[in-house]
A and B are shown apart, each in its own frame.
Chain A
Amino acid sequence: METGLRLLRAARRTFTGPAALLGDPVLRERAAGYLADLTRPYGLRVPAGLFDAPAAALGQSYGEMAAELIPAVVPPDEPVDLLVLAFAVHDMLPGRATAAYLSHVCPGTPMSFALCDQGSAAAFTGLRIARAYGCRRALLLAVEQAVLPYDAAVPVPARHRAVAMLYDALADDGAHRDGDSDGAAGGPELIGLGGGARVTALRQHVDVDAGDVAALAAAEVGELTAGRTDVAVVLGADLAAVWPGHGGAAVTTGPRRQPSTGVWWALLDRLAGDAARPRPVVVADYEPGLNYLSVVALAPAGRSEPVGERRADEREQPLVRLRGTDGDPDPGAG
């Protein structure tokens, strides 16, 4: 089922520097008090003196991360109607209404909110909400940072990362300004998407046991690719770990320990890699803690149906293959 959305422009970044706001002593003190109160009822403790550390060691603020990506994908004359910030792990300014701030720095002053408590499914839900809104443009921001100031007893993300994806309504044939090169050194990486990618299907399955997810995911991918051999498949790391393979599809897998951004990071790799000869892509991710399987299918904009041929280099390779994400600046951290 067509969703009426097109992925028009995208940018991403791995953040390595300090969060500027965490250098502010007033905000540090507020964050320290908030996090101490947050953890106390659960028998967890924020280490004394943690907030005396340099800002770079304190983790990130999603406001600053997302705000840096917005100008890369939203020109001032393309107002956004809806902004959704999706995260799983909270940031280090946890009491802040970050989405409201992002509305202020985004062209169009869009309706904005955050989605959370849903693990890796949140960004897919954000896309589903964007479809339901039927707006001209929706900005989906997936963010995660790698510091939790207490013993969470679960792995934290490997890196501070953010992905911004601007979707528009298919009827809007406004000017495309996609770049095909990196931004300034250390800045957002703008991903060239050519004419964009139509969102042709969007599905979420709930209550999917870990033992069932591989078969269900394979069935979904099989249905959405309809047996074609030219369709790329992008999987989140948790799903890739149990992926049984699906004949005819080249599989890209997202980096491990990036639950919120990983599959989208890998999608952008796939789209950029295929920019010269765009082809349909099916993206799927599994949230093992909450048993959500999410699937989205995209096709090059301007084609009436997902068509394409295997490229020459692909004919030399097995129909099913796994590859790491291209351009990962820190592949060892996965």
Chain B
Amino acid sequence: MTAIEAVSVFLPQRRVPVESLAAPLGLSDMQVRLFRRFHGLTEVRRDPGLSLTDLLLRAAHGLTALHTLRRRVRFVVYGRAFPVVTPYPVNPLHEVCRALGLGHALAFTLTQQSCASALAAIDVAGRLLASEPDTPDGPPLALVLTGEKAFTRDAQFIPETSVFSEGASACLLSAGGGRDRLLAYACHQRGEFDVAGGESPARFQRAYRPALAEVIGRALERSGTTLSELRLVLPHNVNLMTWKRLCRLIGLPLDRVLLDNVTETGHVFCADAFVNYRTARQRDLLRPGDRYLVAAVGAGDGATFAAMVFEH
């Protein structure tokens, strides 16, 4: 069973108030107030001096065990929201692998599920590990990376919905560890919301929370967990209002959702799950045996709703 061995997160120190985004993005005062007062999004992390490779490397360097375990790493899976982030053939993923001494691992990017790509990357990495033989140094491991730059308008904000922070994460996975075991994964894609799909943005807004509720319910069912048994929900940091309304829809107490990072980091693309996991661990919010749910929504052109249930 896929399990998390270690997680590291890197967020740039530089904080940017949402008001500072108004001029470069052409946002009105009303739009900025919507972000701050209605959605609870006050600032994001951005550092023009750090490249994508810098972000990924800093996250990976935070995995203190990686250096001693690196010979066991067989797969490096980069879960990325934006399908294309560098001109061809620039390849930050392989630059990072070389810098980390992971040239012996099979490395690839998994994308086109927008910000839900990280959960698919965990699922794929776990499945590949399950059929991988032991290495001479021990059971095989996978490194799941996330990390993105706010390099273009679509990567800076989602109109009336969210603002993006730059950041990255690195997560070591095993096929049989005991710390945070993946019990279930559910994913539902709604390609009709693609530019060629013909559906309206208004319909997407109406479908959003019911679709997320559906995959959460499915992940709970598959894991044999009830909503009341969840110790914690690690959300995507899209905004506060979405989660307040979702909690009302599914009957989940809002204090069960770790929303602290929404205000101060905003939406860190695919890294939200790991940013929130780190906070949960730092605050000692998870006890052995606790079950928690990770949720993600990829809402670019097309939409992907995903949820995972873990046991700590």
Residue of B nearest to A290 (CB): B94
Write the A107-122 contact mask toward B (1 if CB under 8 angstroms, else 0): 0010111111110011
| Cβ contact of B87, chosen from A101, A116, A152, cutoff 8 A | A152
| Cβ contact of A96, chosen from B106, B298, B300, cutoff 8 A | B300
A320 at the interface (CB under 8 A from B): no
A95 vs B192: C-alpha distance when bound (angstroms): 16
Interface residues of B in 93-135 (CB under 8 A from A): 93-94, 103-114, 117, 120, 124, 127-128, 130-131
Q: Of B150-158, B255-263, B273-281, which stretch is located at the interface?
A: B150-158
Total A-B residue contacts, Cβ distance less than 8 Å: 177
| Cβ contact of A117, chosen from B94, B191, B302, cutoff 8 A | B94
**A95 touching B84 by the CB < 8 A rule?**
yes
Residue of A nearest to B92 (CB): A117
| Min C-beta distance of A128 to chain B, whole Å | 7
Interface residues of A in 177-209 (CB under 8 A from B): 204, 206-207
B residues near A38, Cβ cutoff 8 Å: 84-87, 151-152
A residues near B106, Cβ cutoff 8 Å: 121, 125, 204, 206, 292
**A97 touching B300 by the CB < 8 A rule?**
yes
Q: How many A residues, CB 8 Å from partner?
A: 60
A203 vs B214: C-alpha distance when bound (angstroms): 38
B237 at the interface (CB under 8 A from A): no
A99 at the interface (CB under 8 A from B): yes
Write the B187-204 contact mask toward A (1 if CB under 8 angstroms, else 0): 101111011110000000
A148 vs B89: C-alpha distance when bound (angstroms): 11
Given known A-B contacts A100-B302, A102-B191, A113-B120, A21 and B89 have beta carbons under 8 A apart = no
**A116 touching B131 by the CB < 8 A rule?**
no
Given known A-B contacts A95-B82, A118-B108, A100 and B127 have beta carbons under 8 A apart = no
Interface residues of B in 66-80 (CB under 8 A from A): 78
A99 vs B117: C-alpha distance when bound (angstroms): 11
A residues near B82, Cβ cutoff 8 Å: 95
Given known A-B contacts A41-B151, A95-B84, A104-B302, A121 and B108 have beta carbons under 8 A apart = yes
| Cβ contact of A100, chosen from B109, B110, B153, B304, cutoff 8 A | B304
B90 at the interface (CB under 8 A from A): yes
A302 vs B301: C-alpha distance when bound (angstroms): 42
Interface residues of B in 44-91 (CB under 8 A from A): 51, 78, 82-91
Interface residues of A in 32-76 (CB under 8 A from B): 33-34, 37-39, 41-42, 44, 63-64, 67
**B113 touching A42 by the CB < 8 A rule?**
no
A253 at the interface (CB under 8 A from B): no
**A118 touching B83 by the CB < 8 A rule?**
no
Given known A-B contacts A97-B304, A132-B128, A290-B94, A27 and B195 have beta carbons under 8 A apart = yes
**A206 touching B192 by the CB < 8 A rule?**
no
**A114 touching B87 by the CB < 8 A rule?**
no
Write the A65-97 contact mask toward B (1 if CB under 8 angstroms, else 0): 001000000000000000001001110011111
| Min C-beta distance of A180 to chain B, whole Å | 32
B293 at the interface (CB under 8 A from A): no
**B83 touching A207 by the CB < 8 A rule?**
no
B residues near A113, Cβ cutoff 8 Å: 110-113, 117, 120, 124
B7 at the interface (CB under 8 A from A): no
| Min C-beta distance of A113 to chain B, whole Å | 5
**A206 touching B104 by the CB < 8 A rule?**
yes
**A150 touching B112 by the CB < 8 A rule?**
no
**A98 touching B104 by the CB < 8 A rule?**
no
A101 vs B198: C-alpha distance when bound (angstroms): 11
B232 at the interface (CB under 8 A from A): no
**B190 touching A104 by the CB < 8 A rule?**
yes
**B83 touching A114 by the CB < 8 A rule?**
yes
**A97 touching B83 by the CB < 8 A rule?**
yes
A13 at the interface (CB under 8 A from B): no
**A105 touching B191 by the CB < 8 A rule?**
yes
B41 at the interface (CB under 8 A from A): no
A14 at the interface (CB under 8 A from B): no
Residue of A nearest to B114 (CB): A97
B303 at the interface (CB under 8 A from A): yes
| Min C-beta distance of A204 to chain B, whole Å | 6
B residues near A21, Cβ cutoff 8 Å: 195-196
B residues near A150, Cβ cutoff 8 Å: 87
A21 vs B197: C-alpha distance when bound (angstroms): 12
Given known A-B contacts A109-B189, A113-B117, A44 and B154 have beta carbons under 8 A apart = no
**A100 touching B151 by the CB < 8 A rule?**
no
A116 vs B111: C-alpha distance when bound (angstroms): 8
**B194 touching A63 by the CB < 8 A rule?**
yes
B residues near A292, Cβ cutoff 8 Å: 106
B residues near A154, Cβ cutoff 8 Å: 88-89
Given known A-B contacts A97-B114, A114-B111, A116-B111, A39 and B298 have beta carbons under 8 A apart = no
A111 vs B91: C-alpha distance when bound (angstroms): 26
Interface residues of B in 4-59 (CB under 8 A from A): 51
28 inter-chain pairs at a CB distance below 8 angstroms, sorted by A residue, are A64-B196, A88-B88, A90-B84, A95-B301, A96-B83, A96-B112, A96-B194, A97-B301, A99-B113, A100-B112, A100-B194, A101-B194, A104-B189, A104-B192, A104-B302, A109-B189, A111-B189, A113-B120, A114-B111, A117-B78, A117-B91, A117-B107, A118-B108, A121-B106, A125-B108, A128-B128, A207-B103, A292-B106
Instruction: Give me the interface of B with A, judged by CB distance under 8 Å.
Output: 51, 78, 82-91, 93-94, 103-114, 117, 120, 124, 127-128, 130-131, 151-154, 187, 189-192, 194-197, 298, 300-304
6 extra A-B contacts, CB within 8 A, seeds A117-B108, A131-B131:
A37-B153, A38-B85, A112-B189, A113-B124, A117-B94, A122-B108
